[in-house]
Structure 1
Amino acid sequence: MDVLTDDLRLYLAEEGADAERLDLLTGQVRDQIGLLEVDDVRRITSAEAPPTGARAIEVGAVGALLVMLGNSATSLKEVVSVVRGWLGRGDGTRRTVRLELGGDVLEISEASEAEQQRLIDLFVNKHGGET
């Protein structure tokens, strides 16, 4: 089992969502991740939002979470599974997620299921997880 030393940052966005909707969605994802074997999960303040150069995610329209993964790469795989589920529950509304870990960034929006899986597998495997 590999040891992770970095925390995972998640940025969630939904096309057309207002601040209240994003707050609700972020809370739901936070609650789901909180059930996993992670050390902690908390909201990121606006001061910790992604850089303004973030491609698809607008800084003002982001629900952001910091996930302390702990010592197990397995928790990364579980968190990514929650995020994939969230992306799939958009009911036709465009959703975007940005994951940042160890200086690497993965941003997924309108990728096919197969492409999402391929990108996520690469990201998780690079950080010591197995898919």
Structure 2
Amino acid sequence: MEPTVHLTLAEAGSDRTRLDQLARLLRDELGQLDGADVRPGPSQHAPPGARGVDAPTVSTLVVALMGSGGLTALVAAVRAWLDRGHEAPRSIHLELEGDVLELSGATPAENDRLVSLFLARHAGKAPSWTADAPP
């Protein structure tokens, strides 16, 4: 079975409409990755009688990864998307097999370390520290 990653994005001060827009942009970008099947998260539509959909629902994506290197490519693409210019702070919560990687306002060195540990657990790679600090 191929790994499935659940992504939930957040942006400070954003409403449901803005989060939906961001999720669509990220979905389009991640859809360009080889071996990644990107879909909206579960329950993108409001249940009957509901007045709307909550922000975490519209900002969730599910990514099925096929082939080796898919997780590494996904995390790299998510980090690049987060690093691009934007006015409000953003974060992305990645969950794979119950393990969570939260990318947000940490320093690049801290994020490098978190990503290395996460990939070591799931992609079978030894951590490669890009920061000057040892583990």
Structure 1 length as normaliser, TM-score?
0.78
**Residue 14 (structure 2) aligns with:** 17
Query: Structure 1 regions of 5+ residues with no counterpart?
Result: 48-58
Superposition CA RMSD, Å:
2.1
Q: 3-state SS of the aligned residue for 2:63?
A: strand
| CA positional deviation for 1:129 | 5.2
Count of aligned pairs = 116
Paired with 2:102 and 2:14, the residues of 1 have a C-alpha distance of 18
User: 4+ runs of 1 displaced by more than 6 Å?
Assistant: none
Paired with 1:129 and 1:19, the residues of 2 have a C-alpha distance of 37
> Contact conserved, 1:77 with 1:129, CA < 8 A, in 2?
no
Query: Structure 2 regions of 5+ residues with no counterpart?
Result: 45-52, 129-135
| CA positional deviation for 1:46 | 4.0
**Residue 52 (structure 1) aligns with:** none
**Residue 27 (structure 2) aligns with:** 30
Structure 2 length as normaliser, TM-score?
0.76
Q: Which has the higher helix share?
A: 1
Question: Which of 28, 32, 38 is 1:41 aligned to?
Answer: 38
> Contact conserved, 1:38 with 1:67, CA < 8 A, in 2?
no
Q: Which of 1 and 2 has higher RCO (CA within 8 Å, sep 6+)?
A: 1
One-letter amino acid of the counterpart of residue 79, structure 1:
L
